[in-house]
Amino acid sequence: MVAALNSAASAPAAPGSDATIAIVGGGPAGLMAAEVLAGAGERVALFDAMPSLGRKFLMAGKGGLNITHAEPLAGFIGRYGARTREIAPLLEAFGPQAVRDWMHGLGVASFVGSSGRVFPEGMKAAPLLRAWLHRLRTQGVAIHARHRWTGWTPRPDGGAVLRFSTPQGEQARSFDTVVLALGGASWPQLGADGLWVDALAAAAVPVAPLRPANCGFDVGWSDFFRTHCAGQPVKNIVAACVAENGERHARPGDLMITASGVEGGPVYALSAWLREAIATHGAATLEIDLLPGRDAAAVLAETARPRGARSLASHLQGRLGIRDAKAKLLRECLPAATFADPVRLAAALKALPLRLCAPRPLAEAISTAGGVCFEALDATLMLRALPGVFCAGEMLDWEAPTGGYLLTACLASGRAAGHGALAWHRRAPEAVA
């Protein structure tokens, strides 16, 4: 503690050095916490390891920023699985409509797509981020890019001494109140590398292991299939799996064949259950309905129909539209004997079993599961073991599917942490232990 404070005293003063509240992490959760605090008139310093803020936010919006979803709130909240109870109060305070209203307040209109996903007008993340950063600077937030958090010494009176690696050398700064919004560990090249885990674990903060979420999975293709199908989509399917509690979950969409396995919207949506099955059993089965527009009886009628001199491949293509990647996937997954049995073949067309052997590495995942356990936090998202230190965003132990659910919860938790930090910072002196 003494060494850290001495380091803080000897470090060169930085712009915004009079700030008493620190936000570490310049993603959506950190920016929202900064907005709450600075909007209330507090002096805020925001630190980020990267040369610019919101890099993952910008990358997520590269193909169109899906910021939230128009699903009714009850269904929306149910998307957070095992952490629904903990996430619900955050979303009830700042849910999908509040996100849209906030965005409109920044001068960016929104619209609802055909799937219910909500996008900003123009689809891009950059105009929204520019308007947001302009608001924060106008509110007086001191932004420190290229400041990588390297460690800390929590203060017994609350807050912490934070250490940063900067282009000007090592710096240490003492803050009365700290909000950590350091992200998970997916897409580490954009700044979220999960290196904060050891620092929090050393401070006796319970942290669930970080795991890939919204990720692809390895299959173990044959060389022939990999060579001829990697990079091809399997369009208009329904993917399904059975969870450990026996519930069956199904999602429609397009599957993408990769060199190592499969990815795509339906796989991402099922990834939590698939990942847990692999962790428990060493493998998971993904069932693929290749013909979701036809019922099982109609498919059986076609597989049993006499085909005369036509090959089976030609028959399946002509009668059921099974061609290209779908036809090759069928051959890859089924033993030869199945193709001679119309009943088994029809069943496979409606529920093709695909064995998944491992999730793709965390660095490739869209998001992260695991993180700071909610049991380590009070209702304001302050760490019980570290008074004056709050956590928000993807570094918390929750996960959700893509579709606007990830960003909404990051924004909502950042707002909650900001309000919690504000209340702590302004607590009455007699409330200090």
Q: Which residues pair with 382 in a beta bridge?
A: 390
Indicate if the pLDDT at residue 176 is higher than 50: yes
Give the per-residue pLDDT at 3.
Answer: 32
Give the per-residue pLDDT at 192.
Answer: 87
Looking at the fold, whether 182 and 275 belong to one and the same domain comes out as no
**Structure confidence by residue, pLDDT tens digits, 276-325:** 999 999 999 999 999 999 999 999 999 999 988 899 999 999 999 999 99
Give the per-residue pLDDT at 428.
Answer: 56
Residue 223 domain flag: yes
Looking at the fold, whether 41 and 63 belong to one and the same domain comes out as yes
The larger pLDDT score, comparing residue 1 to residue 257, is at: 257
Looking at the fold, whether 349 and 390 belong to one and the same domain comes out as no
Looking at the fold, whether 381 and 326 belong to one and the same domain comes out as no
CA distance 252 to 72: 20
Q: Are 358 and 278 in contact (CB under 8 A)?
A: yes
Instruction: For 198, list phi and psi in degrees, rounded to 5.
Output: -65, -40
Q: Are 371 and 396 in contact (CB under 8 A)?
A: yes
Give the per-residue pLDDT at 427.
Answer: 85
Least confident of 153-157, 272-276, 375-379: 153-157
Q: Which of 337, 359, 381 lies at the terminal end of a domain, its last residue?
A: 359
Give the per-residue pLDDT at 425.
Answer: 95
Give mean pLDDT, residues 111-135.
94
Tell me which residue range forms the domain holding 258.
Answer: 217-359
CA distance 263 to 257: 7
Residue 136 domain flag: yes
Instruction: Give the CATH number of the domain where residue 108 resides.
Output: 3.50.50.60
Residue 280 domain flag: yes
Pairing type for strands 169-175 and 117-120 reads: unpaired
- Confidence at 12, pLDDT banded by 50, 70, 90: very low
Indicate if the pLDDT at residue 5 is higher than 60: no
The larger pLDDT score, comparing residue 429 to residue 99, is at: 99
CA distance 421 to 157: 15
Residue 242 domain flag: yes
Looking at the fold, whether 208 and 223 belong to one and the same domain comes out as no
Give the per-residue pLDDT at 158.
Answer: 86
Residue 302 domain flag: yes
Q: Which of 359, 379, 402 lies at the terminal end of a domain, its last residue?
A: 359
- Confidence at 408, pLDDT banded by 50, 70, 90: very high
Q: Which of 335, 359, 383 lies at the terminal end of a domain, its last residue?
A: 359
**Model's pTM, two decimal places?**
0.90
Give the per-residue pLDDT at 8.
Answer: 33
Looking at the fold, whether 241 and 264 belong to one and the same domain comes out as yes
Number of domains in the chain: 2
Looking at the fold, whether 157 and 290 belong to one and the same domain comes out as no
Q: List the one residue out of 299, 307, 129, 275 whose CA is nearest residue 210.
A: 275
Looking at the fold, whether 381 and 336 belong to one and the same domain comes out as no
Residue 364 domain flag: no
Residue the block writes with tokens 């019922």: 295
> For the packed helices 312-320 and 324-333, what is the interaxial angle rounded to 10 degrees?
130
**Structure confidence by residue, pLDDT tens digits, 363-394:** 999 999 999 999 999 999 999 999 999 999 99
**Structure confidence by residue, pLDDT tens digits, 27-43:** 999 999 999 999 999 99
Looking at the fold, whether 63 and 202 belong to one and the same domain comes out as yes
Q: List the one residue out of 21, 31, 153, 150 whose CA is nearest residue 411.
A: 31
Give the per-residue pLDDT at 11.
Answer: 36
Least confident of 116-120, 227-231, 290-294, 305-309: 305-309
Give mean pLDDT, residues 226-249.
95
The larger pLDDT score, comparing residue 107 to residue 17, is at: 107
Residue 103 domain flag: yes
User: Mean pLDDT of all residues in the chain?
Assistant: 92
The percent of residues above 90 in pLDDT, for the chain, comes to: 85
Looking at the fold, whether 178 and 238 belong to one and the same domain comes out as no
Looking at the fold, whether 323 and 373 belong to one and the same domain comes out as no
> For the packed helices 405-425 and 84-93, what is the interaxial angle rounded to 10 degrees?
70
Looking at the fold, whether 197 and 238 belong to one and the same domain comes out as no
Give the per-residue pLDDT at 375.
Answer: 96
Pairing type for strands 44-47 and 21-24 reads: parallel
Least confident of 15-19, 87-91, 170-174: 15-19
Residue 402 domain flag: yes
Pairing type for strands 248-257 and 177-180 reads: unpaired
CA distance 206 to 323: 50
Give the per-residue pLDDT at 430.
Answer: 46
Indicate if the pLDDT at residue 149 is higher than 90: yes
User: How many residues comprise the chain?
Assistant: 433
Burial 262-298 (b: 16+ CB within 10 A, else e): bbbbbbbbbbbbbbbbbeeeeebebbbbbbeebeeee
